[in-house]
Amino acid sequence: MSQEENQTSTPTRFWETTALENMTAVQWESLCDGCGKCCLNKLIDDDTDELYYTNAACHLLDDNSCNCRRYIERFKFVPDCTVVSMDNLAELTWLPESCAYRRLYLGRGLPSWHPLITGSKDEMHRLGMSVQAKTVNEMKVRYLEDNIVMWPLEDLD
């Protein structure tokens, strides 16, 4: 989930020494890079089960900051917004390869551009690893099929 600023530097690289299931709520929440990719609408091909990302973003996503504009109260407006947790992480196979939760779950570690490592979201944006300036509001999209994009699949490191 894209969320309010959570990219503060931490004194220790806790994600290298603490298993996902043992993290505190604060540690878990801080793992989210705020890339916004999980706030994009996706399509699944009925015949092949293949997943396609679109650049049509949830209407609450801020295209510049990549944060949710109503994060705390988002479920009032988007009841099916997904909460990533240890209980569902294994099933959330649609999370992008670059997602911090997915990477750690697969034993890949965090990428060098992750805000927990760099101290801000700047490097993530600079490298194009977030949705910044690349989305359209889902309310303005008629056919999601016309908005399929490949860039959310990109991963670095």
Among the listed residues 15, 30, 35, 55, the single contact to ligand SF4 using CB under 6 A: 35
Helices (H), the chain: 14-17, 25-31, 74-77, 100-105, 115-118, 122-126
Question: Which region, judged by CB under 6 A, interacts with ligand SF4, from 13-21, 26-34, 105-113, 136-144?
Answer: 26-34
CB atoms within 10 A of CB 116: 20
Task: Give the nearest distance from C-beta 145 to ligand SF4 in angstroms.
Answer: 20
* Residues 72-91, interacting with ligand SF4 (CB under 6 A): 74, 78, 81, 84
CB atoms within 10 A of CB 41: 17
Kindly give, in sequence order, each residue whose CB lies less than 8 Å from that of residue 3, ignoring residues fewer than 6 positions away. Answer: 29, 32, 34, 67, 68, 71
Task: Tell me if 34 contacts ligand SF4 by CB under 6 A.
Answer: yes
Question: Which region, judged by CB under 6 A, interacts with ligand SF4, from 5-13, 14-22, 29-37, 105-113?
Answer: 29-37
Task: Give the nearest distance from C-beta 148 to ligand SF4 in angstroms.
Answer: 18
Site size for ligand SF4 (CB under 6 A): 23
Task: Tell me if 110 contacts ligand SF4 by CB under 6 A.
Answer: no
Task: Tell me if 125 contacts ligand SF4 by CB under 6 A.
Answer: no
CA 76 to each of CA 19, 42, 61, 128, 135: distance values in angstroms, whole numbers, following the listed order = 32, 21, 15, 30, 23
Measured distance between the N- and C-terminal CA atoms of the chain, rounded to whole angstroms: 21
* Residues at the contact surface with ligand SF4, assessed by CB under 6 A: 1-2, 32-39, 58, 60-61, 68, 74, 78, 81, 84, 95-96, 99-101
